[in-house]
A and B are shown apart, each in its own frame.
Chain A
């Protein structure tokens, strides 16, 4: 009996329990969500994957929030999006300036203390336990992903200390990854250091790039723009990892985020 015939016989035998047991699962190319920043979109081949888990890491002022808001601005134009804000840091004014449709943005603001503890059913049973901000955020993200229907969900852990972020169990990230694939939702995690590891299908590293002096030569200096760089740390489905012999070398791109007043200001005029 040839190997092909044996394989066919086994597949037929197992068809009810394991359909196509020896066939490779064909994965469709993921739908991409553009960020609207030309350089970044070129780097990512079109945008971040919808139905995937994207991790954007970097220190403060590295442009993580600006990049994410730029993605959400395009996603929220017609679709529902959610922003899980661990340290209640989102600025709606900045979000609106980026073009985010605030009506379609569900903003969840974590808080230190739990909701007013009353003599409740749960309290009588001794079930009440205080939720920290991070626990609340993970629970809320899980609820959002399980409910489905959101185009993009952002878990903003930018201000969470790295030592706390890495303590989040890997099982949570794995669960999120499965839920995003099922719900066709793009989950974006903002953090200072990478913590989702292999669960993230796309990992981006952001950094702050030093720019020229602010409005040199003018009477009053004007903060006009900030330069950031983005590097791809991990990209799932880029190539066959078994055929790869050495670590991939991803390129990076530098982009500039302008302030509103800098856009409106005429050359040689200080306005804010």
Chain B
């Protein structure tokens, strides 16, 4: 069983909902850029006075006693919320019905009240109670109940007050109503008008095949609507859950230290997590906004940080630790006078563990560990190195470290000679004979190049300002104690020698 609530002239009603003194006066709601505003919606009194939708502001002002109001989407949103709140008292399953006319959008909703008769009484009683409740919120609504969803919608559009359509009487109830209740497109309306079809009963009486041959499947749909037989699967609206995951707090005194803030953050996070867990959700990210104290007459300032755990979590302590570490690493530069936490929820992470899983830190602990290390070393000093596609030596980038994954790469055969880099390269003094390094001074010591290989000339990016060129030598350096294998390089452009690294 479905109950439809229809608020006629919804935009006009929404505009005067909070201004009762205007309800008995002709109202025109204007929309558009001044001075080219057009009438977007009117109420019954304005319609009786001769106003029509689409008139210009100048035309509206030629009528006496007409109140012109600017369209406000916020007011329409708030009126719709009030209407849906009333409906939600009877059933959580409701759908907002869209209309062809823009001024009617948002003013029609359908409830599935199947099974609620034991709680709220018979269908007629529910419809009447619903209409009264909505009128208390300043909205005049027509309510109709039927076993067919669209029959209830059409009846609510066409019949004022409360209507309860008995099972099997849909066609008879809708029959005398004009075709406007079917929410026709302009093309279909003009075609049917040409045919002389003005009521639902006339449309319902048309033969289906011939109607389809002329109007297509739209004709079949309209005929079923007029007969109260059009089947529709209710798609219930659900309020966006994440919009509810907000916690705000104003502080009486400015706070400069982190410890008292953590107590508040913990309490707020617990509240958010409780909401998320109640819906079997986990928190995927938390955005903390700290309102900062400012000088008098200065514009308000805030400090915003976002925490995104690697996986959605239900662990408040881990989130709190991440928040703490982040705020310690990126602290605000003034005292805090207000807090706001916004969370985004996600499905909790589920993992099937096995005996042969790779050894890796738990995702939650890894996130906290990385945050601690970032605080200790800095943002860019840790991660997984990735080689760049270039021949330039020491070219790599640091990427975010994630959980361990098995590699399919083949095993490197045998042991390798490994270079240890000098970052930045150490400038050295080199004595050469016939362009071959003989003696090298660095770190306050003198080394003899006992063996050498090179020069290996390398260059790249000659087409850009980042061009580089060098001559590399592999040398065995010996002093009195030991021998050391190094890679030294000569930059022909600047004529300097430097130690690039040591083989180890």
Contact = CB atoms under 8 A, between A and B. Distances in A.
A61 B485 contact: yes
A151 B359 contact: yes
B386 interface: yes
A95 interface: yes
Interface of B: 256-258, 327-331, 333, 358-362, 365-366, 368-369, 372-373, 375-379, 381-387, 393-394, 396, 398, 401-407, 409, 411-423, 451-454, 456, 474, 482-486, 501-504
A257 to B, nearest CB: 4
Contacts of A59: 482, 484
Contact of A66 (B333, B365, B456, B504): B504
A88 interface: yes
Contacts of B485: 61, 208, 223, 226
A93 B378 contact: no
B412 A97 contact: yes
Contact of A147 (B366, B401, B404, B418): B366
B415 A37 contact: yes
Given A66-B416, A91-B421, A118-B333, A208 B482 contact: yes
A91 B394 contact: yes
A61 B385 contact: no
Nearest to B412: A99
Given A73-B411, A223-B453, A258-B416, 5 more contacts: A91-B394, A93-B396, A147-B366, A147-B368, A258-B417
Contacts of B373: 108, 140, 143
Nearest to B421: A91
A243 interface: no
A272 B398 CA distance: 27
Contacts of B365: 147-149
A256 interface: yes
B387 A221 contact: no
B500 to A, nearest CB: 10
Contacts, number: 237
Contact of A115 (B258, B361, B377, B414): B377
29 contacts: A61-B503, A65-B420, A66-B416, A70-B415, A77-B409, A77-B411, A91-B421, A91-B501, A98-B416, A103-B407, A104-B404, A104-B405, A105-B384, A106-B401, A107-B385, A107-B398, A108-B373, A108-B382, A110-B377, A115-B329, A115-B379, A122-B331, A143-B369, A148-B361, A158-B420, A226-B485, A255-B415, A257-B417, A260-B416
Contacts of B422: 89
A84 B474 CA distance: 27
Interface residues of A, number: 86
A272 B503 contact: no
A222 interface: yes
B257 to A, nearest CB: 6
A110 B385 contact: no
Contacts of A104: 358, 360, 384, 404-405, 407
A73 B421 contact: no
Given A37-B415, A61-B503, A257-B418, A139 B378 contact: no
Question: Which of B327, B359, B384, B483 is packed against the most chain A CB atoms within 10 Å?
Answer: B359
A91 B362 CA distance: 28
Interface string A114-154: 11101111101100000100001001100110011111000
A63 interface: yes
A122 B451 CA distance: 54
Interface string A225-237: 1100000000000
Specify the main secondary structure of chain B where it touches its partner.
mixed
A252 to B, nearest CB: 16
B376 A257 contact: no
Interface of A: 36-37, 59-67, 69-70, 73-74, 76-80, 88-99, 101-111, 114-116, 118-122, 124-125, 131, 136, 139-140, 143-144, 147-151, 158-159, 184, 208, 210, 213-215, 220-223, 225-226, 255-260, 263, 272
A225 B333 CA distance: 56
Contacts of B409: 77, 99, 101
A80 B415 contact: no
A102 to B, nearest CB: 5
A116 B393 CA distance: 29
Nearest to B385: A92
B451 A221 contact: yes
A258 B383 CA distance: 28
Contact of A221 (B359, B375, B396, B452): B452
A89 B404 contact: no
B261 to A, nearest CB: 9
Contacts of A97: 412, 416, 418
A118 B329 CA distance: 9
Contacts of B258: 121
Given A140-B376, A158-B420, A61 B453 contact: no
A261 to B, nearest CB: 9
Question: Which of B330, B382, B383, B394 is packed against the most chain A CB atoms within 10 Å?
Answer: B382
Contacts of A208: 482-485
B474 A121 contact: no
A67 B67 CA distance: 87
Nearest to B481: A59
Contacts of A149: 359-362, 365-366
A63 B504 contact: yes
Contact of B387 (A93, A147, A272): A93
Contacts of B402: 103
Given A61-B503, A99-B411, A221 B421 contact: no
Contacts of A124: 256-257
B378 A115 contact: yes
A115 B504 contact: no
Contact of A62 (B421, B452, B504): B504
Given A66-B416, A101-B409, A118-B333, A136 B369 contact: no
Contact of B405 (A67, A90, A103): A103
